[in-house]
């Protein structure tokens, strides 16, 4: 899954990036419509385990479209797994802390044993105290780590968490001396810090460090030349770390090429920010490596989603699907135990659309990622995602 740095602060990026017997009816609460995938008019459910789904169904702007897609993905998970033991109960947060608190209170009254969502950090802040007081765990979609912990788990792709995977892989391929070209942004600072820790842990070195303003293409040239001149001047560099994404790379890539910085000369490595359509059109980046889920999972999910709903889902939709899949997989456990911390944070984790993942006691999420190589015709997996956390060396 191609990560965005902050769901909460980059709604524009979200727009761009715009869960075993038949389950019955969904969407009867707080603005939901009736019926599930391919089953219009269903209005009831026989599931005994209630799972609340908190989403900003009637928020402003483009957010309701995101919420609708997340809700539909959650429905699809139930129908795919064909589990009558779970009833999904959608609640509208209205996109606000007060709305999220009211939605959580309604979920508690309805007897929910698990809360999935909300989407934004401010909503989590509003809903979390209610869930904690009731002893109900929450699996949210915010990417702001400050709201994680104490019963709140974030299923989102968190900034910097994929960096050790790419560093570990690069080192396994003989890369020991690195240059970094980092955007001057909150994401860039997190990625840079994670990179420094990973390189140090692997006994590598960072030989060249440069930073660029992500929103000023003209000012990108100086830092690019700084890296290029250092390498031309004999500074040993095995790989260049560029934790940029679809907002910066189209402007940055031509400048890299003009400075004779291509993967043919120095191995480019990136982060999950590289995982966006058509990155292979940036010629300078062809041959570059980056960590991401195996794309087969997302491809299969989008096909099923599009067949059911007639539209391609936003990239975030897999989070809702995987959260409901987790809820279903644990629903057969006894009441009071099924969603206990020990179950949610089991070391073996869970398998989802985006591959292996596990929730951690601190509320964050760890993922088993593949390594992809940029090709003109589309990315290719060159190192598979681990099949279990026991066999994975780094994430």
Residue-wise pLDDT tens digits, 42-60: 323 456 899 999 999 999 8
Q: What is the pLDDT of residue 41?
A: 28
Q: pLDDT tens across 248-266, in order?
A: 999 999 999 999 898 878 9
- Which own/partner contact pairs does 62-67 have at CB distance under 8 Å and 24+ positions apart? 62/11, 62/14, 62/15, 62/18, 63/11, 63/95, 63/119, 65/18, 65/314, 66/14, 66/15, 66/18, 66/119, 66/314, 66/316, 67/119
> Residues of 146-172 as b/e, b for ≥16 C-beta within 10 angstroms?
ebbeebbbbbbbbbbbbbbbbbbbbbe
Q: What is the pLDDT of residue 148?
A: 95
Evaluate if residue 6 carries a pLDDT over 70: no
**Which pair of structure tokens corresponds to residue 331?**
């629903």
- Report how far Cα 227 is from the mean position of its chain's Cα atoms: 30
Provide, rounded to the nearest whole percent, the portion of the chain with pLDDT above 90. 77
What whole-number distance in Å separates Cα of residue 296 and Cα of residue 247?
25
Fold: same for 11-158+298-367 and 163-294+369-391? yes
Average pLDDT over residues 210-238: 92
**Domain locations in the chain as residue ranges:** 11-158+298-367, 163-294+369-391
What whole-number distance in Å separates Cα of residue 105 and Cα of residue 356?
32
Q: Supply the CATH classification number for the domain 11-158+298-367.
A: 3.40.50.2300
pLDDT bin (cut points 50, 70, 90) of residue 34 is very low
Average pLDDT over residues 146-153: 96
Name the 3-class secondary structure at 311. Answer: coil
Q: What is the pLDDT of residue 83?
A: 62
Lowest model confidence (mean pLDDT) among 42-56, 83-97, 184-198: 42-56
**Which pair of structure tokens corresponds to residue 290?**
């980056």
Q: Residue 206 burial (CB < 10 Å; 0-12/13-18/19+)?
A: middle
Q: What is the pLDDT of residue 391?
A: 62
DSSP conformational letter for 387: S
Evaluate if residue 388 carries a pLDDT over 80: yes
Q: Which residue would you say has higher pLDDT here, 79 or 290?
A: 290
> Residues of 340-353 as b/e, b for ≥16 C-beta within 10 angstroms?
eeeebbeeebbbbb
Query: For the chain, what is the mean pLDDT?
Result: 87
CB 290 within 8 A of CB 371: yes
Average pLDDT over residues 152-168: 95
Fold held by 163-294+369-391? Rossmann fold (3.40.50)
**Which pair of structure tokens corresponds to residue 9?**
């602060």
Query: For residue 305, what are the contacts with CB-CB under 8 A and spacing of at least 6?
Result: 72, 73, 76, 311, 312, 313, 317
CB atoms within 10 A of CB 259: 19
Average pLDDT over residues 326-333: 92
Q: pLDDT tens across 291-322, in order?
A: 999 999 999 999 999 999 999 999 999 999 99
CB 55 within 8 A of CB 92: yes
Q: What is the pLDDT of residue 323?
A: 96
């Amino acid at each position: 899954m191609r990560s965005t740095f902050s769901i909460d602060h980059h709604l524009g990026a979200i727009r761009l990036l715009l869960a075993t017997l038949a389950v019955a009816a969904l969407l009867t609460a707080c603005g939901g419509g009736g019926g599930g995938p391919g089953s219009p008019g269903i209005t009831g459910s026989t599931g005994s385990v209630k799972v609340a789904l908190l989403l900003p169904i009637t928020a402003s702007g483009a957010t309701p479209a995101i919420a609708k897609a997340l809700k539909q993905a959650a429905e699809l998970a139930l129908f795919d797994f064909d589990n009558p033991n779970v009833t999904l109960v959608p609640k509208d947060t209205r996109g606000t802390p007060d709305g999220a608190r009211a939605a959580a209170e309604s979920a508690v009254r309805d007897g929910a044993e698990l809360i999935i969502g909300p989407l934004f950090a401010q909503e989590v802040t509003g809903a979390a105290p209610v869930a904690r007081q009731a002893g109900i765990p929450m699996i949210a979609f915010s990417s702001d780590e400050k709201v994680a912990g104490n019963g709140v788990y974030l299923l989102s792709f968190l900034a910097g968490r994929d960096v050790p995977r790419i560093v570990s892989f690069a080192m396994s391929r003989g890369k020991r001396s690195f240059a970094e070209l980092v955007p001057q942004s909150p994401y860039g600072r997190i990625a840079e810090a994670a990179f420094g820790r990973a390189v140090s842990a692997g006994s590598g070195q960072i030989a060249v460090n440069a930073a660029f303003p992500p929103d000023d293409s003209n000012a990108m040239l100086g830092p690019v030349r700084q890296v290029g001149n250092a390498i031309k001047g004999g500074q040993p560099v095995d790989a260049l770390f560029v934790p940029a994404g679809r907002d910066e790379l189209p402007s940055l890539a031509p400048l890299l090429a003009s400075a004779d910085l291509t993967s043919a000369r120095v191995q480019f490595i990136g982060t999950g920010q590289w995982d966006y359509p058509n990155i292979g059109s940036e010629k300078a980046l062809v041959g570059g490596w980056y960590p991401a889920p195996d794309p087969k999972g997302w491809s299969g999910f989008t096909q099923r989603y599009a067949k059911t709903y007639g539209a391609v889902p936003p990239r975030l939709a897999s989070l809702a699907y995987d959260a409901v899949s987790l809820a279903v997989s644990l629903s057969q456990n006894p009441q009071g135990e099924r969603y206990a911390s020990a179950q949610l944070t089991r070391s073996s984790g869970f398998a989802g659309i985006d591959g292996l993942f596990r929730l951690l006691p601190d509320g964050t999420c760890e993922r088993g990622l593949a390594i992809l190589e940029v090709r003109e015709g589309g990315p290719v997996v060159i190192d598979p995602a681990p099949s279990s956390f026991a066999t994975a060396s780094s994430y």
